């Protein structure tokens, strides 16, 4: 890399991630697709499918890519839910995530763990495992705003 492509900024730059909330309605309560993290941080905790946005892609494209890599699910029907940027939400450093969601009643059919997901499965929003990062708060907000007003 030559010097004209190297930038030095006075202010630190946060990492940019994209996460997916995939809801289904296969039971009395909505279910959500979660992956079990294969690596630190939060190894063996459950989380939304997602990851870092590559330099040459949009957040939307990163969300679709990560969803496919980690769960085997392919969709072109994601909607932006919100931006989550609380300092300290990721122990690796300052990280801002854009969360996307969709409703997919076929999600249980073809879930295949891949990439950095050790496992993938559906959980009732009323019976969740311990979640990584700030995903429990994000999921509570999504359930309240997108489905119905319940307490997890």
Catalytic residues: 119
| Longest Cα separation, the chain | 59
Rounded distance, CA 57 to CA 13, Å? 17
E strand or H helix that includes residue 32: strand 31-37
Q: Is the dihedral of CA 116, 101, 150, 26 positive or negative?
A: negative
């Amino acid at each position: 890399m030559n010097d004209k492509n190297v930038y030095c900024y006075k202010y630190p730059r946060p990492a940019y991630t994209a996460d997916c909330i995939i809801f289904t309605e296969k039971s009395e309560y909505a279910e959500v697709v979660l992956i079990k993290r294969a690596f630190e941080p939060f190894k063996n905790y459950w989380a939304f499918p997602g990851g870092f946005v590559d330099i040459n892609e949009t957040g939307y494209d990163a969300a679709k890519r990560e969803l496919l890599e980690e769960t085997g699910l392919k969709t072109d029907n994601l909607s932006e839910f919100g931006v989550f940027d609380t300092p300290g939400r990721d122990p690796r450093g300052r990280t801002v995530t854009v969360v996307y969601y969709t409703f997919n009643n076929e999600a249980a059919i073809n879930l295949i763990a891949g990439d950095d997901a050790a496992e993938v499965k559906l959980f009732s929003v009323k019976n969740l495992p311990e979640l990584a990062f700030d995903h429990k708060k994000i999921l509570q907000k999504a359930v309240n705003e997108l489905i119905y007003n319940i307490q997890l």
